Structure formats: C-alpha cells, structure tokens
C-alpha cells in the first residue's frame, strides 16, 4: 500500500483567530479569541468527485480512509492505492481536495457508488446526508462476537482522558472528539473535528492506515451524543464497546442491539447507562 499526502495547503490550521466583544453582567470589553476552523473537503475517487464534507482541516487522509471504510467502498487497507491532496485546483481549494486511488475490487465498488450517488455536500453535523434512501444506511454485517468485558471504573475514566487530549478544544471550545481505548483503559488514539462523525472517521482511519485492524479489542468513546452513523462506523470497524458523554438516538440503540455492540451513554462521573450489550460490563 502506497499512501501519499500532497501539499498541506490550508489544512494545517485548526483554530481561527477572531476579535470578540465579551459581555458580562457589569461590563463589556473586546478581546482576542479563537474559533474552530470549518472548511469543505472534497473527496474524489479515481479522480471523480464523490462527496464534499465539512470538516476541521487535519488528518484528511485518515478521514477519507475511515469514511470509505464505513461506506464499505474499502474493506481493508489493501484496497487503498494512494491518497493525496490535489494540486491542480483553484487557489481557494488548495489543501481541500483529496483524490483516493483504489485497487482491485474496491475500484468496482467505487464505480457503483459513483453511479448511484447524487451530488451532495454534507454538513459537519451529518455524515449520511448523501444517501438516496434510508435503506442505504443499513449494511449487512455479522454481529460483533468479541466477548471481553470492561470494568465500570475503567469506563468512568474515559471522559477525563479524552478531554485531556483535546488540545484544540482548549483554544476554541468548539470541537468534538473521538478516542480509542485498549482493554486496560489506555487512550491509544484521538481525533478532533467540528463533526463528531468526522472525528470517528479520523481515529478509525488512522488505525486502518497503520494496518492495525481489526479493532475487536478496542473501545470507542465520543464527546456529545451517539447517532446511528457513529454506531454504524464502530460496527464496520469491529469495535465492540462504544460510549459517549451524552445520549444515543433510538436508531443508534436499535443498530447497536442488532450488531451486538455494547452501547453506553451519559458517561459522567461514576455513572452511565447501558443500552445494549451489558454482558461486556463486568459488574
């Protein structure tokens, strides 16, 4: 596998300097502040436009790899040829166009996807807006069979460990995060983005590019809520335990139960809810 990243362009800045008027109960004053950067990333397959997603620049290769995995266009790292930023684009798009070259059967799957997908720009809050129907959301995957368990006390450490690794959040206060943990609760991978699904793609994609699959001995933890698409991404990656600081949606719970994923929500302090797969919580 030969994965290449071209020029970084504007993809190196994740915080945007801005002057704000800070108002409190007694006074107001102008001061410098930072906002999370949000820019479009166009992902091309074999040179053909596939999708435009809004994301925080950085880890674009990982984002593309994780996204294509969740879309089932690639099944493993061997399906990837090269991933590089395009240089033959307008100056305003430099660093924001990524071309992915595939090999083998992945090329055929890409052709099918390109033929059936309507042009779309996804928002940072939605990673499945380009689907033609709700049926497209459901991919046939075997239930996750991993049978290891984790202690509640270990789960309770996830929010603080993930928050401590959010370097850009400290400056902007406006980024979601996804963290990958091993069985002992060690944080082994983290990604930040304005979109929670992008953060998941980045952290999973990094493991894919490093050829560290499958992820059956890992737990995924995300800031914010858990949507259907995040459960789907975890299921495709073979991750048996998924937790979040907030609530899951009803469809997320249904998919987790269908895929035998241990789904945790409201992980705060020493408490959390288990919505599916409670056999993996060692009580």
Q: How many CB atoms lie within 10 A of CB 187?
A: 16
SS3 of 52, please? Answer: strand
126 is catalytic: yes
**Catalytic residue among 86, 126, 129, 139, which?**
126
- Quick check: 237 and 69 in contact, CB under 8 A? yes
Alpha-carbon dihedral sign for residues 32, 193, 243, 125: positive
Extract the tokens encoding 6: 């071209």
Extract the tokens encoding 109: 């799957």
SS3 of 241, please? Answer: strand
Residue 127 and residue 207: Cα distance in Å, rounded? Answer: 20
Residues with catalytic function: 126
């Amino acid at each position: 596998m030969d994965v290449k990243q071209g020029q970084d362009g504007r993809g190196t800045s994740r915080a945007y300097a801005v002057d704000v008027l800070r108002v409190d109960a007694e006074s107001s004053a102008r001061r410098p502040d930072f906002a999370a950067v949000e820019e479009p990333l166009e992902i091309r397959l074999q040179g053909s436009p596939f999708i435009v997603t809004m994301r925080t620049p950085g880890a674009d290769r990982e984002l593309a790899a994780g996204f294509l995995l969740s879309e089932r266009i690639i099944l493993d790292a061997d399906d990837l040829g090269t991933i590089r930023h395009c240089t033959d684009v307008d100056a305003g798009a430099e660093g924001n166009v990524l071309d992915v070259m595939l090999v083998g059967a992945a090329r055929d799957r890409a052709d099918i996807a390109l033929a059936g997908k309507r042009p779309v720009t996804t928002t940072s809050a939605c990673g499945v807006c380009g689907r033609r129907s709700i049926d497209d959301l459901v991919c046939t995957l075997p239930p996750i069979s991993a049978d290891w368990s984790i202690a509640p006390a270990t789960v309770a450490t996830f929010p603080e460990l993930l928050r401590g690794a959010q370097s850009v959040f400290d400056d902007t206060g406006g980024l979601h995060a996804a963290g990958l943990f091993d069985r002992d609760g060690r944080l082994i991978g983290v990604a930040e983005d304005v979109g929670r699904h992008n953060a998941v793609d980045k952290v999973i994609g990094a493991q894919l590019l490093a050829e560290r699959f499958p992820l059956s001995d890992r737990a995924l933890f995300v800031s914010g809520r858990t949507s259907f698409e995040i459960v789907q991404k975890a299921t495709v990656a073979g991750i048996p335990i998924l937790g979040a600081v907030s609530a899951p949606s009803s469809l997320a719970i249904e998919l987790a139960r269908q895929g035998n994923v241990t789904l945790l929500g409201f992980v705060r302090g020493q408490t959390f809810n288990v919505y599916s797969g409670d056999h993996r919580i060692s009580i």
